[in-house]
Amino acid sequence: MARRSVPIIKQLLSKSSSSENPALLSSCFKSKIDAQNRSVTYMPRPGDGAPRGVTLIPGDGIGPLVTGAVEQVMDAMHAPVYFEKFEVHGDMKKVPQEVMDSIKRNKVCLKGGLVTPVGGGVSSLNVQLRKELDLYASLVNCFNLPGLPTRHENVDIVVIRENTEGEYSGLEHEVVPGVVESLKFCSERIAKYAFEYAYLNNRKKVTAVHKANIMKLADGLFLESCREVATKYPGIKYNEVIVDNCCMQLVSKPEQFDVMVTPNLYGNLVANTAAGIAGGTGVMPGGNVGADHAVFEQGASAGNVGNDRIVEQKKANPVALLLSSAMMLRHLQFPSFADRLETAVKKVIFEGKYRTKDLGGQSTTQEVVDAVIAALD
């Protein structure tokens, strides 16, 4: 039955007129989800169901709109989390100590975008969080959402980037006037994380993105680490691609990629490129994780975080942060709540009635939120 439904679904997705039959849409969507997921009984340890504290940073611009959306949906689901909310803004000199204490106590944080001042010697609070909490792995999941038209199909890429070193981390110093060094030294642990992620999530291939043909020492060390770790995972295919060729391959044939592991700066560029291919930054979830703490946020760069017009019209897209909060629920060992949330969001996108402007609609943030809440099983 599931196999016979696939051609019907593809035909529906290729026709804009499909939205005229919402009952058929809902039925086909459910068939597609059921075909992909098996029913799994999750058996928690005693006490695992106790509500968990999560530090919440609404952030700047659209941040309060999209984090407010998450709060509403979590409340509607009666999800076993509660939020400790703090006002933090990108123009602050540093993250307040009470906020850091809250994150260290809760181990988990959900945040909206923080504006990063350009130049002027003001450091990024995003980078400060990653460095102080040692959130060495950034993960962005770029995938096609059923019902959302894109240039490419069958895109499901996980970009894992080193998060604490290299050109993007601010780890740099001036040796002598006019000579600046940027440091890289943590390649092995990000390689281990990427292969462990692929192994635990039944992924088939890991691609290392590099520029070792020019950066022979720094990126050469990164490749050596990836190659060594790859030998310990014989069931996972490993290959390498130079970053400029990678960008070309991404826009021409993105379906060839599965898990990508990258140094810091390359990962930021690759993740945003992959996000644009798969539907835009407004629908891509992500998070930053270390040995002890995790911070979940919109996966690709929140380029509209400072867009006053979107804020005034209250038309920010909450989908990326809603999906990031589903990742957070799995991280907290609440998989059934994560499944409910993801299914509701995907159903709203598939039906196409409520979409913000970046997805071709005119809905407000609140209208999307109301639709997601109505779609919760």
* Euclidean distance between CA atoms 285 and 319, whole angstroms: 8
227-264 pLDDT, tens digit per residue, is 999 999 999 999 999 999 999 999 999 999 999 999 98
Taking each helix axis from N to C terminus, what angle separates 365-375 and 335-351, rounded to the nearest 10 degrees?
Answer: 120
| Three-state DSSP class for residue 240 | strand
18-40 pLDDT, tens digit per residue, is 444 545 445 555 555 544 555 56
Share of the chain above pLDDT 90, in %: 65
Token pair for residue 263? 């140094």
Amino acid 10: pLDDT: 46
Among residues 346, 343, 281, which one has the least CA distance to residue 62? 281
Decide: 289 and 321 in contact? Cβ < 8 Å: no
Q: What is the mean pLDDT of the chain?
A: 85
61-92 pLDDT, tens digit per residue, is 999 999 999 999 999 999 999 999 999 998 89
Amino acid 306: pLDDT: 62
305-325 pLDDT, tens digit per residue, is 667 888 889 999 999 999 999
Which pTM does this prediction carry? 0.84
Answer whether residue 148 shows pLDDT above 60: yes
**What are the backbone dihedrals phi and psi of residue 366, each rounded to the nearest 5 degrees, phi first?**
-65, -35
Domain boundaries, the chain: 51-115+124-139+283-376, 151-278
* Euclidean distance between CA atoms 320 and 308, whole angstroms: 19
Decide: 288 and 128 in contact? Cβ < 8 Å: no
Answer whether residue 287 shows pLDDT above 90: yes
> Looking at the domain 151-278, which fold is it?
Isopropylmalate Dehydrogenase (3.40.718)
Range 51-115+124-139+283-376 has CATH code 3.40.718.10: yes
Distances (CA, A) of 336 to 15, 194, 229, 269, 284: 32, 25, 33, 33, 21
* Euclidean distance between CA atoms 143 and 120, whole angstroms: 37
Cα dihedral angle (205, 211, 212, 217), rounded to 10 degrees?
A: -120
**What are the backbone dihedrals phi and psi of residue 57, each rounded to the nearest 5 degrees, phi first?**
-115, 100
Two domains, one topology: 51-115+124-139+283-376 and 151-278: yes
